[in-house]
Amino acid sequence: MRRKVDYDLKSAFEYNPQEGLTVEDIYDIRAEVPGEADGANWHWVAELCDGKFAYLVAGCAYTGCDCAGNLYCEIAETAIEAAMLAQNESGGIKSIQRQLIDQIISQQPFGLRLE
């Protein structure tokens, strides 16, 4: 099942354009660890229209991405390589890398953040 870019990622791109990558370049969202405003970052692994993959991480203030948001993107050859680009966050949660990989290999439901 193909997953489209959600509101959070669209908003991150709108206020934090990435050189050489737009929302239209994303074919499918393969994994997502959701975040929250003024809290944990959002993490995605996206399949691009050219067959490559992107690891994307975004954060925002409680008012949204327009005033205090950020977006970082790095390109990889495979979905697993993209997930391996994720950095772990503090707070004792399961590794962000592991959650993304587990979603890619269908060992964890899509879009679930495990504490």
| Predicted confidence (pLDDT) per residue in 40-63, tens digit | 899 999 999 999 999 999 988 777
Q: What is the mean pLDDT of residues 70-91?
A: 89
Q: Is residue 110 part of a domain?
A: no
The two tokens of residue 113 are 């953040």
Q: What is the mean pLDDT of residues 87-98?
A: 75
- pLDDT level of residue 37 (50, 70, 90 thresholds): confident
Q: Is residue 111 part of a domain?
A: no
- pLDDT level of residue 21 (50, 70, 90 thresholds): very high
Q: Exposed/middle/buried for 23, CB within 10 Å: 0-12, 13-18, 19+? A: middle
Q: Is residue 1 part of a domain?
A: no
Structural domains of the chain, count: 1
Identify the pLDDT of residue 64: 67
Q: Within 10 A of 42 (CB to CB), how many other CB atoms are there?
A: 21
Instruction: Decide: 93 and 115 in contact? Cβ < 8 Å.
Output: yes
Q: Is residue 64 part of a domain?
A: yes
Between 112 and 73, name the one with better pLDDT: 73
Between 30 and 66, name the one with better pLDDT: 30
CA 52-89-11 angle, 5° bins:
55
Q: Is residue 114 part of a domain?
A: no
Q: Is residue 91 part of a domain?
A: yes
Identify the pLDDT of residue 114: 83
- pLDDT level of residue 4 (50, 70, 90 thresholds): very high
Q: Is residue 2 part of a domain?
A: no
- pLDDT level of residue 65 (50, 70, 90 thresholds): low
Range(s) of the domain holding residue 78: 7-104
Quote the CA–CA distance of 67 and 50 in Å, as a whole number: 32
Residue 23 DSSP class: G
Quote the CA–CA distance of 4 and 73 in Å, as a whole number: 17
Q: Is residue 97 part of a domain?
A: yes
